[in-house]
Every structure is written in C-alpha cells, then in structure tokens.
Structure 1
C-alpha cells in the first residue's frame, strides 16, 4: 500500500479539477441551449411583428385603394360636389359613405368636404365647415399642398358637440386626386379598432404590441414594455405609413438576462477555466518535485550514476530511465542547434566581410579572425558565380530540383577546394549568385590558385549539368579591402552581357573597356528612332552600330538596360498619336516583348536579335500602312525635295505650298501624319545634322556654317543649335576633338 501512496495522492489531487471542468462544460451546454431557445423566441416574435404590420398595412391600403377608385369612377360623387343645391345628390353621397363604412369594419366615420360652398357631409347631415365638430382635420388638409397617407393618432370630436372625443387616424384625399378643386374626402379609423385587430393576432398574456408614428408617439399609451433592452424587442417599419410596429415577449427581463448575460457567463467560465488550469499547473508542479529532484541529480551526476543502484524500485527506475532519455534527446537537439548556429554565424561573418563592416571595427575583426583561425596577413580573393539563363532554368525545373542543383554546385565547390587544399567560404547571396571567398597565406599564389579552381568548377558544371555558369573575379587584397574585391567581382560578372557567358571574367579584362560618352549614345538613339519612324532602310545599320559600340565599350548590364530603356521611351514618344494600328501593336505586343527580352537575356547578342526582329516587324507595318494612305506618293516627293534643298534659307511651308499646289495648313497636317513630326522640326533636324558634320570635319567659323545650313543670322543658328543639341556650336566642336 505504501507504494500506491503517490498514485492516490495524484488521483485525489486531480479529481476536484476534473469535477470542476465537467461542471463548467455542462453549464456551457445548458447556457447554449437556453440562448438558442431565446433566439428562436425572438425570431418568432419578429415574424409575428412583421405579420401584424403586414395585415394592418394591407387593411389601410385597401381602404386607400377603394377611396381612390371611388374618386376616379363615381360620377354621382362628382355631381354632388359640383351641385350644391341638389338634395337627391346629397342622399346619394350619404349612401356612398354608409357603404364604405359597411365594407370596411375599421372605418369609424367618413365625410365629404365640398369646396364650392364649404359644406361638409357625413352620415347624418350636411352642414357648413364652420360648425362642423371635426373641422380641424379639413383645415389641415386645405393647408397641405401634398396630403400624407395616414395621420398620426388624434382626437376626433363626435357629430354633435356633446359627444366624447375618440382617438382616430385619418386619411384625406383630394377630389379630383391631382387638384382637389371639387373638395376632399376624409376617412377616420378608430385606434381601438386597430388594437382589437392586433388582439386577434396575438395573446396579450404572452406578448405586448405597440404602434409608433414617425415621431415615435405611441398609438396605445396603455401598453408599456417591461424591458428597455432592444434585444428582446422586434420592430418593423412600414414602407407605406412610416409607422413602427413593435412587439415584446412578456418576461423580457429574463430573456434579456439570458440573451445579454452571455458576457457575464463567458467571464465566469473563463475564470473557472483559468482556475482549473492554474490548479492543474500548481498540483502538477507540486507532484513533479520528486521527479524534478531526481532529474536534477541525473543532470548533475550523470557520469557517476551506476545502473546497479537503480534496480531496487521499478517505478523509480522508470522515472530515471525517462529522465535519461530526455537528457539524451535534449543533448542531441542542443548539438544540432549549435551546429546550425555555427553555420549561421559563419554565413553572417562572410556577409559582413563582403560588406566591409569590419573595416572600421578592428577589435571585432581581431576577435572574429581568432575564432575562425585566420592568421594575420591572410590574403583574400572574392569570386561570384552567376547561373546563366536563370529564367529558363526556373521555367525548366521545379523548386525542389532547383534547390538540388544549387546543393550540387555547393558540393562541387567544396570538393574541388578540398582536393587542392584551398580554404574557401561560400554563400548564396541571391537566387542565381554564389559568392566564393578564397583565403590563403601565400600572397603570390592566391590569384593563380583561385583562377585554376574557378576554371575547374566552370568546366565541370558545363560538362556534367544542363546549364552553364559565369564567374567574376576580383583582385587579391588583405582583410581591410575585401569589400572592394567583392565589388570588383560584381562589376566583372555584370560585364557578361557584352563579354559572353560560360566564361571567367577577370577584373583586369573589365578595366580595359570604358563607358564611352553618354551624349553620343543618346544622339545615336534619337537618330535611330527618327529613322524607324520614317521607315528608312538604314535604321538597321544604325541599330547594329549602336549594339556594336556597346560591345566594344564592354558596358555593364545596368548601363545597357539604361540605354535600352531610353530607346523604348523615345520610340513610345515618337509613335504617340500616329496610326492607331501601329500604336496598338506597340503598346500590346512590341513594348512588352522588348522589356521582356531586356530582362531575360544574358548576352547582348540575344538582346540585339530580339530588338532587331521586333522593330523590323513594326517598320514593315508602318510601310504598309503608309503606302495605303492617299497622299503617300505626294509626301514622299515633298520629303525628297526638302531633303535635297534644306540648305535654302527660303524653304518654308509657304514655299512648298506654292510649289506643290497644297494648302499650307493641310500640308502641315500631312507632315505630322505621314512623317510623324512638324515640318519645322523635320527641317531643323536636317540642318543640325549637316551643321554637326561641318563642325567636326571642317574648321569654318560659325557664321559660314550658319549660311551653309540655311540660316541668314549666326545668332539664330547658334540659338537653334544649342536648343537642339544641348550645347553651343563651339562647345560641340571642342567635345568632338
């Protein structure tokens, strides 16, 4: 029995918590059922309210409809209102009123007001309006330009002055409906009749019902709601009268508690659950102390415990065995976590080296250098491996295969480095870029060794895998300039767009090229765009020369992208407002294709092929559309004439208009439509191109050049040249020398 003491203590410790938890669950279940019942009762109450409102509205609408029909179809009624002295018509009209009261049980009284003599006819007699007891309602109708449907509850006096007033609702209609020139009809319905009608549809012992007008004044003051909680009320607003129909289930306070007390019960349940959880933790903690003491001892003295000492009590041995297993598991997890932390720390160390974060923190660098066993004077070379045609690589392989190939590349780099006893650190810095940091204490051999290792890796990947890689190598440096070597490697690999793929690009090879003059490229692009717009055949030579110049200058990818974006911008601006077919082809097809080719191509040859093919299709479309136009031949002749005679200072739209017998305004419009630019811009472009040739090829002064290009004033020529080219003629001549 002594062995069972601990088990009993455990059982009796948890029984109160178990009992409390089960009680809370039962209470939650009962509360949910009660709430569902309450919601069902409220829903039924809402349906009843809608039914009451629907029935009352239908009854009132029926009265209103019959009144309108009476006004529109009863000719005797119109005769009564139009003939004040005919007693027979008075009797007929009185019978009409009696018939309406018989037909509709809701109606308390009905009477006609005759406008011609201001007489009022009810069921008993006809009398002047001034002596009619209920004259106030007629006075209000006469003052209202647009009578409402049904009035709010009011007190109506009886046919005689001594009769008691009763509460009614009234409906007044003009006769005829639109003008009221003959008079009015007034129908009064007892509020008591509405109350009795409601009593027939509900049980007053279970439900209260009330009607409110649009000012929220109750129809039945004797009916009051016991609860102010809107949750147990049902309300329906009539679209016809604007009244509110409200009902309340008696005993609403209890329903309100059940409906709105959920917050309190939820709070109580949460407190009970928190108490149960806290008690469980407390009891578990208290009962766990003996086991915890054993586990602490095992943790502290795991190397000195003998298995023979643990055979006396099977229960204790089970606890000890479990603790030892847990200890082993924790130790394995700790080792894995430690290894992972070391890997992350190594990666962070490499990234910090590449970004130059240790260049100003000498103390931290010394600490990290000792941690990784790097000796003073170690030389470094940064190399970047970039996967070629990475877009096609992603399209060909799924995510799992991509990760596998990258793991293969990592393994190949590490294996070749170990074979040659090279010390390297590697890390993927982008989806398609792997950085390799070579480290060596031998200053003379590190560059040669890094080139040799890189070539072996490149050759193996090219032979064994379905894709290739390109390497960019920086210069050898010490620890303080690693970031510069990394930047040089990045700059080198960016040059593969002009130097080619599947090769090793050294910093020395990159430095042989230069970036060229941006102004020359921009002028070249503007001239190319103009030739494309005019569908000239020599645009292809211009495009080939542009790409050849970028190759010879070995521009990096970012510079090439910048120039090609400018080319796309100039094309879009030049094509704006021309033939709709060409504009649609440009925006929907050609422009996206050019941007996609620039993004997905790894070499400048691929980019050139895509651009030449796309622009060629657009030029063919321009030629076809231009030749189909009515004035294509005429504008071709005029354009040739201007090209041959642009040096003539008298050349103008008026001169061309007289020569070719075309209105000058219409000729200007044709220039814009067929050539794509204004006549003045076309002429200035020809003159400025010729002026640039003279400035470069001759030593003539500005005055002579201005006269040869068609300008009588050198000042005007210089102003136009600076606006067109961006610099004065003299500055342009100096920049080309």
Structure 2
C-alpha cells in the first residue's frame, strides 16, 4: 500500500485526483456532521425549554389543586355549620340573641373546627338581629366589644347569600404578624332573605401559603398566590406577603385564565407563568429567572459543540482513509491501461478488491431482498394482526394514513365508520382450568370466526386474536347507519353471538359494544368504550350485553363504599365470637346490599375493599387466639377473591369466610372456659342500669384496672364505658317509645341519676335530646279524657 501511494504521488496527475477526491469526501462528511449537529443542538434546546415550561405548569397545577382543596375544606366547614339545626334557629332568634343551648352547640362546632384545622386562625358567627358576635372560645357579645371588627364592612357590602374570600388589613397593628388577613365570609341563610347573619373564618396565612413544594423548586424559582381581586400576592416559599412594588410589575398582566410572559424583574429577565382557579378565584404565578431555563440547554450546547468537533476530526480521518481505498483501484486500473503492452509489469487486482466487493454486496442485497419479500408474504397474517393491535391502542388524527394502511395490509374497508366489540369469556378461571393451552387457542379462534360470520350480516369484521379472556372484533359497516338503527341492531347481533356460542360450546360470553366512530383514527376510542362498558358485567352477572351508550356516567364516591363497610365491620367484629343469630345473619346480608349499591365503581376497587374487610376479620381472629389453617392462609384468601368476576361472588365469599370464622370461634368456645372479657360483658348486661365501674369489677377479680380495660377492648373491640353506654342508650330508646315514664325517670332507670348528664350523653350519641327522640319515634295515642 505504501509503495502504491508513493507511485501515485510521484505523478502530479494522480496526486491532483487524490486530493480532489479527498476534498469532496471531507466536504461532504463535515457538512453533514455540521448540519446534523446544528439542528440536533437546536432541537435539544427546544426540548429542554419545553420541558421546563411544562414542569412550571405542573408545579402550578399541583399548587392550585392543593390550595383549592384547603380552601374548599374550610368552605365545607362553613357550609356544614350553616346547615346545622341549632345554627338555623340561632339565626332566626330576635334582638335578644340565640338561646343558651344553641350557643353551646354552635360553640362546640366552632371549637372542634378550630382545633382540627391548622389553617384556621379564628372563627366567628355574627347574628345580625342582635348585632352580636360569637367565637370558638367566647359566647355572644356585642360587635363593638370584639377586637376584630374590620370584616364587618365587607359583610355589609355583600349583596346576596354567598361565600366569598377577602384579603383585608390586619386588625391589630401592634401584633408582630402579617399586615393582611385572609377571610372567608359566608352570609346566611341560603334560601331566604334578608341576610340574617354570617360565618366568618380568618385563615393562618403562614400555614396557608407556605406550601411544601417550594423544596422541589429550581434555583431562584418562586410561586405567588394572588387574591381573587388581584390586589395582593403571597410567596409560597415564606408564606409572607409579596412587596407591593414587586407585585405591581406583573399585576396588570394577569389574565383570567392561563398566561405566560417574560419581563424585567429584580434586575434580570424573568419568565412568568400564571393560572387561575375556576373554583376559588385565586391566581397562581410561577416565576423563574430566564437564565435557569437555559442552564440545562447551555450544557447540552457545549456538549454538542465538543461532540461536533470530535466528529469532524473523526470524519476527516475516515475520509482520508476512504480516499486511499478508492484511489488504489483507480490507480491500478490506470496503470493497467498505460502499460497494456507489458502485462507482466502490472500489479494484478486482488479478487477481493473494492469494486468486486461492491458488486458482490449489491448481488447479496438483491438476493436478501427477494428472500425478505418471500418471508413477508408468508407472515402476512402476523403483520395484519400487528396492525389491528395498533388500531385499538393508538389514536391518531391521520385518518387518511390509516385508510392507506388498511389498503396496504389488504384489509378492505368502507368509509361508513368503525366500532369495536369485546367478547369476554365468562368464568375465565374455570375455563383455563378445564381446557389445555392448545384447546383454549382453538376455542378463542372458533369464537372469533363464529362472531365474524354473524356480524357479516351487517358489516365486515376483523378479529384480533389474543391469548386472554377477550376476543376483539373491529367492525366496519358496509352501508351508512343512522344512530338509532346502530343502537338497535348491534345489541341484537351480540345476542345472536351469545346464543351461537352457548349452542356450540359449553361456556357463555359477555359482550361490550363501543359507539360507531366515523374515522379510522378513532377506533381505539370505541375499544375503550366497549372495554369500560363491559366492566358493568361485574354487577349484571355473566352472559350480559353492555352497549357503551347505556353505561351509567354517574359514579358513586369510593368513600361511601368504604364508610359503609367500616360500619358493618364494627358490628361484625362485635358479633363474630357470639353464637349465630338473626342479627349476625342480617349484618352479613348487608354486605350484599352494599356491593349492589356500588355500581359504577371499578370492580378491582370493590374487590380490594372487601379483601380489606377479610383482613380485619383475619387479624381480629388471630389476636383472639384462633389458630391458623396454614401459614399462607391470607394469601390464599386473596388469590381466591381475585379470581372472582362478579360482585355477588365477592360478597358471598366474604360472607362464607366470616361464617366459617364464627363457627370456629363457637367450637373453640364450647371446648374451653369462658374468658374474663365475656364474664365482664355478661355482668354489664345484667347490671348496666346501676352504678357500676371498671375499677370495682377489677377489684373483685383481683386484677389491675388498666389490664382489665386493655383485655376487654382487645376482645370485645369497644371500651368498657362505650359498651355500658350503648346498652343504656338501647334501653332508653326502648322506654322512650313504649312507656309513659318521664325523661327524668327513664334516665334514672338506666343508671343516670343526673338528668343533665343523661341529656348530654344521649344527644352526643343520637344527635337529639330524649324528648325530641320521643316526639319523632313514639307512636301517637288518643287520650280518652281529652276533647280534640
């Protein structure tokens, strides 16, 4: 090679040719590297800027949601107070002010709210008729005697019954606190006029505005929270008020919705992003130095410059080497032409020269291309399935491109729209246990072919073969269908598919139907609708047809389901060690009713909630000494519950487990002595109407009172005093509705010598006084001695 280079460079003609080739190659490679590097650098900077701006919006959205939740919680506290009966009566009171009983109940609510909410600094109720103000700690006093009366002008300016946020000057200038006060004023009552008073809540600004997300912010970044009237702003990093001169720079630029802008601030350029809460009216502004936005992109810029320089150097070296490789055969050919008379002196070409390798590579690529085309035709069904898989998972606006792909994959379709059917095999666990994997695939294929033939009466259908419980049909009507005809004919088709499957196979299917979509890019949306509608099978049972347009849009809150199960859990845990009774069975039957009432919730959520109940019963039985069946009993319970596909099955499984646990407890009880807690419970049932105490019982048993209290709570699930009170209240309610005794006599007969204590405890647990309870629940009778 070196001798060849020397010979080439000895001739100016060949030397010139060499450098021309080298120059062209270097120019081509360097230009390509430069262009690619330049646009890659610009693209990377653009991506970084976009991601930083998106993160600003995400930070603002998190802050807005957190503040909306906090402010809404405070608003809900005022709403619940406004709906309280005692509060309504207090507002209707005249110039003398509310009654003592109403004042006490309102004071208790104010104090509870003040204690439980870290964001409330003070809580007032204003009675307009008597011009009195009541706080959480002090009863009603004249408004002129209160320290904080600056909210009164805001209240008087409110023209209708509403709840409204204000930012006002702090009432006491001597306090070492913020100069402003955030206040919520809710005028009452709601349904009538004129306004008779108001609920006033003053917020703790330091706790309210200093959010924890500031720890995640970038250097120099801040979030400002702007009052609804855009007069003040608060810094979330410190919880303090933003200086007026700084806030004035952007005050006039805040829009009513989302806005973003840049401006000079604190001596440098800042980027501002603002969003508004549609619920509270507060605005949230994210500000960050522009230099921080470009910090990451500058690092990428420097890296790209270094990479570009390295690439150019490597490209020049590669071009030089490639030029030598190209020049060598050219030089050899030229030498052969010049010395054609003297073949013996010519350097022979090698069999694996560059030209021969190029021709060989070209022939090889052609042969490989023909082979790949042959393999492509053989695997065409696999490619079609891959395309159908893409249709149900990817939504796009490139509808014409989708139609072109249908044509490319040889799947003829019309322009009349698309919809998806999801055929789900019922009792899938039993299905996979009954058939082998090969038979399962055959059955799925048979169901898909059968459904395709039946739907062929209305439309073309392309089945998507999956190794799961679902068979998916992508359907394309051959003629135009109006909505009413589609809603009528597709459920009928689904019904015929169900009948045909049950006739030919020993199984049933449920079918979900998505709505008709006019464009090919929306097929995934129809699939999602069919899949979600099919989730209603958990409530309707097997062999159901679920059109998506009939699915209920309103979903109950999951908190309601959890709360109802928590109430049932308390009752069941009390009865789990007792002999089976009608009350025990009644509580178990409620499990089915709660499950039926949860329609609209995701089925996995219902499974999880009922499994949590099983866990509570399991741990309770272990704590009480019931031996385990085996070490992984809880895991087997969960596995069994997750196999079930309907809410009826889930509720029945939980009922059976609780009954079995109760049966085992009863068997253990018959074979062993009665526990101390059971003895105490029996003693309470016989003597709850007398002055009994835990200390006296512990002395009689010669045990420590704290040990007896702990033992009773562990086994019975309630405290000693709560159990005594529950028995007394049950007896009280019975006497109130069946006897003519006075309330005082009834209180004494159940163990309360002090009528005031009796009334207080009854109202605390029942929400009303004994007299009110009697008025509501006692049957009305005619007095023979009275004339009506």
Q: If the length of structure 1 is used for normalisation, what is the TM-score? A: 0.45
Point out the structure with max Rg over C-alpha.
1
**Alignment TM-score, normalising by the size of structure 2:** 0.42
Q: Which protein has the bigger helix share? A: 1
